[in-house]
Amino acid sequence: MSITTAARNPYAGTLALTALTPIVWGSTYAVTTEFLPPDRPLFTALMRALPAGLVLLALTRTLPRGMWVGRAAALGVLNIGAFFPLLFLAAYRLPGGVAGVLGAVAPMFALVFATGVLNEKPTGRKVLAGVIGVFGVALVVLRATAQLDTIGVIAGLVGAASMALGTVLTKRWGRPAGVGPLAMTGWQLTAGGLFILPLAALIEGAPPAMDGRAVGGYLYLGVIGTAAAYWLWLRGIAKVPATSVAFLGLLSPVSAAVIGWVALGEALTGLQILGMVIALGGTLLGQTTARVRAAKISVPAESGPTAELGGAVPDDRGVAEVGQVAEVGAAKVDVAVELGAADQPVEVGTADQPGLAVEVGGETVGDVVTEDAEKDGRTTGDSRILVGAKS
């Protein structure tokens, strides 16, 4: 029996959901200036991370084990614990426009880190997208009177690099088996919050007095701006290339400018609108469009008539959506899947976190191997995933 699957490409939908994260992050400036106590950046960073992380830990009831204790701590520091304080330090020492431009350099850092960590060579298209994105953000947020501060510039660049490295390492390490993005979000927020806690106590002292507006602002930042936003961010990193996710960060200063215009009555010039268009162009140019080809699954006749792909049972034509798991009766199965375009193969899985597994009788079998597909004696650049029966 042979089943050919026609797969829908979820790439665009995943990117759209992930893009909500930087759009929500763009509201942080307005909420901070309008609702929160002034001059308390570390306390604000702490309130964004630690309460949300502890709530997610309680909801998921999943703690990191083994090597994941260190990995969760490292990702929590890079994505939260170091990034938040450096972000606020840059914002306090620099004009908002300069800080925004420094943050827009993060995709360029991601391209560099992905080269070493993921062996993902930067394409000319993505480098150009990074330059275009920084230029567009500069038009949106920079002012002629902007002045530079050495400590602020260093903080902004190190913060952007920290977030970029955290994004790339999140992609490289994946998640432990059976652990979802919500639990991973809780791990990172808790680790990052615990890193910030002593810094906030030593530098800023006792918490400030808070009224109802401040409580509401912190609740919004913690629940919407951090817990939900980071869940979508980590979910996106798991499904699409890390550099593509990093380029979505260019939407944050654009969102901040629009929110300032709509909610705070700030002026929005024609040059800023042009910058928004350019920044959006850089964001789109930085994305990788992956083409998903058909997958053919050959099943021995004695294994039975049913093959489930990602929980979807094929119809009478033998067509079903390609999913994460293929279950075929209780017999051995050989699966050959071709995914990806020449410029960017689709990542299906790694040895420690397979994206495609074959279950036979409830037991995962076979090895996942990625190799270049060759046609007429030349490498096409496509990614071929071979899953064979356990030897």
Confidence tier at 287 by pLDDT (50, 70, 90)? confident
Specify the pLDDT at position 363: 38
Question: Cα dist. 103→98, 251, 272, 274, 279 in Å?
Answer: 9, 11, 17, 19, 13
Q: 237: closest CA among 347, 78, 358?
A: 347
* Integer Cα distance of 7 and 347 in angstroms: 15
* Dihedral sign of CA atoms 144, 131, 13, 83 in order: negative
* Integer Cα distance of 348 and 95 in angstroms: 43
CA 100 to chain centre: 19
Specify the pLDDT at position 173: 94
**Are the C-beta atoms of 40 and 356 separated by less than 8 Å?**
no
CA angle, 113 then 185 then 260, to 5°: 80
**Are the C-beta atoms of 46 and 200 separated by less than 8 Å?**
yes
- The region of weakest confidence among 31-35, 161-165, 271-275, 341-345 is 341-345
Q: What is the mean pLDDT of residues 313-335?
A: 36
User: Residue 332 is encoded by which pair of tokens?
Assistant: 């051995």
Q: Does residue 219 register a pLDDT over 60?
A: yes
Q: What is the mean pLDDT of residues 362-375?
A: 36
Q: What is the mean pLDDT of residues 110-135?
A: 91
Confidence tier at 294 by pLDDT (50, 70, 90)? very low
Would you call 83 exposed, middle or buried from its count of C-beta atoms within 10 A (0-12, 13-18, 19+)?
A: buried
Specify the pLDDT at position 388: 38
- What DSSP character marks residue 37? P
**Are the C-beta atoms of 268 and 276 separated by less than 8 Å?**
no
**Are the C-beta atoms of 290 and 332 separated by less than 8 Å?**
no
- Looking at the chain, the whole-number percentage of residues with pLDDT higher than 90 is 42
> How many C-beta atoms surround the C-beta of residue 84 within 10 A?
25
**Are the C-beta atoms of 110 and 242 separated by less than 8 Å?**
yes
Q: What is the mean pLDDT of residues 276-280?
A: 92
Q: Does residue 157 register a pLDDT over 60?
A: yes
Specify the pLDDT at position 146: 60
Q: Does residue 374 register a pLDDT over 50?
A: no
Look-up: residue for tokens 């930085």? 286
Sheet of 357-360: strand order equals 307-309, 325-328, 357-360, 363-365
Specify the pLDDT at position 90: 80
Specify the pLDDT at position 164: 94
Q: Does residue 357 register a pLDDT over 50?
A: no
Q: Does residue 149 register a pLDDT over 70?
A: yes
Q: What is the mean pLDDT of residues 212-237?
A: 94
CA dihedral (138, 231, 161, 277) in degrees, to 10, reads -20
Specify the pLDDT at position 35: 92
More confident residue, 289 or 263: 263
Q: Model pTM?
A: 0.70
More confident residue, 318 or 290: 290
More confident residue, 341 or 240: 240
